[in-house]
Amino acid sequence: MSRISPIVYEHAAPDVRAEHDRELQLRGRMTNMKRIMLHSPVAHRIYAEWFTLRELLRPALPDRAIWLLSLAIAQTSHADVPVTFFRRALIDAGIQPETIVPDADESVLMDFGRAIVADANAVPERLWSRLIARYDEPTLVNLVAFAGIMIATTVFTNVVEVDLDPELHSYRAAPEDAPITIDRLDHLVLTVKNIESTCTFYSTILGMTVETFGEGRKALRFGNQKINLHEAGHEYEPKAKSPVSGSGDLCFIASTPLDAVIAHLGAHDITIEEGPVVRTGATGPIRSVYIRDPDGNLIEIANYAVD
């Protein structure tokens, strides 16, 4: 059951009734989310700008592209109501969400939707390059704003636990075999010989932030992830079965251009073991150099290749 009750039209204030009637006149239907939002006509109108932006995007983005972008955002946000809403849009258009093969433009939009939900501060430059190659700046402004309202919609439905509309139930995805879905890496643990020298290396050479947490424990933060440090022979419980220093092999994506990274490494007399070389990253080709940290862990520093 929703955490906030929907309005009851007969008992609603005049401004709420007026907004309700306006919405029905404009779009012809009322949903559980709208009925809840109507407690605040201002909030309802702000969220309803989704439709305004959608119309502004129509010359560049057909319905199917908008549906797939919105579905990608909703799925990544684990938002059942909007996921099912856009599944219905696709299915009613004769498109099966489970078997659809997105075209190149749709794939870029879906990747963008997933990326901004995962971390709006870390949208890959190569992905943004693909967007600016396709859309002019006014379209990009509308696209980012549209995605922002779409994310806000998922936040609202998730926090309020909006009930699924009865007409959407038959469009829900069948339960998957996998019992869980892993979203992203939060942190990892490195076992090191000397925590102080490790902190100095990663902060000075790689620009990470040293943090203290718990009872004096140390971590290295970058973006929305961190590396927790264990001192060899004095590990915290629970720990890996065989914690060994120097056994790590890590790849970090730098926002700094790789040529500047190489110059920085040279200024600090850090030996480059290999590179620059082209490798395959998690989402595409990367250009990398390899170095060692004080424990001998292999550290790859890379930029994603720009299409």
Catalytic residues: 300
Nearest-angstrom CA–CA distance, 26 and 276: 57
Residues 6+ apart with CB under 8 A from 67: 86, 89, 90, 93
**Cα–Cα distance between 180 and 168 in angstroms, integer?**
23
Tokens of 62: 């057909």
The neighbour count for residue 225, using CB atoms within 10 Å, is: 16
Q: Are 236 and 287 in contact (CB under 8 A)?
A: no
55 vs 34: CA distance, rounded Å: 19
Question: Can you read off the two tokens belonging to residue 287?
Answer: 């250009």
- Residue 51 tokens read as 């439709």
How are strands ordered across the β-sheet holding 225-231?
A: 187-192, 225-231, 217-222, 209-213
Instruction: Decide: 2 and 158 in contact? Cβ < 8 Å.
Output: no
The 10 Å Cβ neighbour count of residue 71 is 23
Picking from 1, 3, 43, the residue whose alpha carbon sits closest to that of residue 23 is: 43
Tokens (6 digits) for 268: 């600090």
